[in-house]
Amino acid sequence: MEKIFDVMILGAGAAGLSAGIYTSRGKLDTLILSEGITGGQMVLTNEIANYPGVETIKGYELVAIMKRQAKGFGCSMKANVKIRNYHLNEEVKSVELEDGRVFRAKAVILAPGGRPRSLDIPGEKEFEGRGISYCATCDADFFRDKRLVVVGGGNSALEEAVTLTHFASHVTIVHQFDHFQAFAHAVEEAEKNPKISFILESELRAYVGGEKLEKVKIENLKTGEMQELETDGVFVFIGYQPNTNAFRGLVETNDRGEIVVDPSMKTSIPGVFAAGDSIAKRYRQVTTAVSDGTIAALSAAEFIRS
């Protein structure tokens, strides 16, 4: 007889692993499928210093612990799979892999995660985690009394730049336009901060350094003039991309492609839940993803019992 799991979790980041821990410990037969490596964005995080109960831990170390916990409770995992088709509207949900295998479950939790938009310029891959960051809350403390660059002109960029001034010696905001797309109060707060300066109508063209990031190349978009700016770190805030292309048209998403859920993490399809960085929400932290995964798992368990 073909196996039907109780819960199938699509994604193995903080949300997916947390959901797997809860469902498998609740004696639900659980499978986690991930199209990438286990851990998601956590694997790319050098140090996590704001996870409650843990003073500091490498991202990959936290992933290993969570993976071990889930497996210890009986959770099955398959990473680096390629999914061809999703069938989520049936009573028994299923996914079909490119190699022809099909996995079925009574409930599904979507946790594909997301990624910050990057600049895609020379030096980016070399200095990610060694000077380039996408999260002030996560990494600001590592840049005490350092010179920083913030890229972006929306609310996140200006608000995070102000946050960074509590740690850094100076912050330079680089923005491609001559005006900001942020709320007036955010612009005013940044402009009156003595530790913030601005380079407008300009874009970063390269990250430069040796063992760590040392400077950035910046082009003035009006004149074409290039300048080099010494810096100890760059924080990029130009938007966020949820990994939801495969689910658009299957479940309800908003205009940013984020999955729409209710407070119980229910999507528009009965028996399908979502959690983590792929859902419509404001804050994206390891702790918020863990919370989402927990709620989705408990809701999935309740759905199956009912």
pLDDT in tens, 79-103: 999 999 999 999 999 999 999 999 9
Task: Give the chain's domains with CATH numbers.
Answer: 5-115+240-305 (3.50.50.60), 118-236 (3.50.50.60)
* Rounded CA separation 89/97 (Å): 18
Q: Determine what percent of the chain is predicted with pLDDT higher than 70.
A: 99
Exposure of 126 in the CB half-sphere (CA atoms within 13 A): 12
pLDDT at residue 25, as a whole number: 97
> What token pair was written down for 241?
């991309």
Average pLDDT over the chain, rounded to whole? 94
* Rounded CA separation 62/182 (Å): 35
For residues 259-284, give the mean pLDDT.
Answer: 95
* Rounded CA separation 203/224 (Å): 10
The answer to whether residue 7 scores a pLDDT higher than 70 is: yes
Question: pLDDT tens, 60-82?
Answer: 899 999 999 999 999 999 999 99
pLDDT at residue 24, as a whole number: 98
Please, is 300 exposed, middle or buried when counting C-beta atoms within 10 Å of its C-beta (0-12, 13-18, 19+)? buried
* Rounded CA separation 191/168 (Å): 16
The answer to whether residue 282 scores a pLDDT higher than 90 is: no
For residues 111-138, give the mean pLDDT.
Answer: 90
Q: 25 by DSSP, 3-state: which?
A: helix
* Rounded CA separation 180/57 (Å): 36
* Rounded CA separation 213/209 (Å): 5
Q: Closest by alpha carbon to 170, among 137, 136, 196? A: 196
Q: Closest by alpha carbon to 279, among 292, 269, 297, 295? A: 292
Residue that is written with structure tokens 């729409």 in the block: 260
Q: Determine what percent of the chain is predicted with pLDDT higher than 90.
A: 80
In the beta sheet, which residues pair with residue 86?
Answer: 95
Backbone φ, ψ for residue 191 (5° rounding): -70, -30
The answer to whether residue 239 scores a pLDDT higher than 90 is: no
For residues 264-279, give the mean pLDDT.
Answer: 97
The answer to whether residue 303 scores a pLDDT higher than 80 is: yes
> What token pair was written down for 196?
């913030």
pLDDT at residue 126, as a whole number: 93
pLDDT at residue 107, as a whole number: 98
pLDDT at residue 267, as a whole number: 98
Radius of gyration of the chain (CA): 21
For residues 26-46, give the mean pLDDT.
Answer: 89
**Given pLDDT bands bounded at 50, 70 and 90, which one contains residue 1?**
low
* Rounded CA separation 238/154 (Å): 8
HEC assignment per residue over 31-72: EEECCCCCCHHHHHCCCECCCCCCCCECHHHHHHHHHHHHHH
The answer to whether residue 10 scores a pLDDT higher than 90 is: yes
Question: How crowded is residue 123: how many other Cβ atoms within 10 Å of its Cβ?
Answer: 21
pLDDT at residue 46, as a whole number: 66
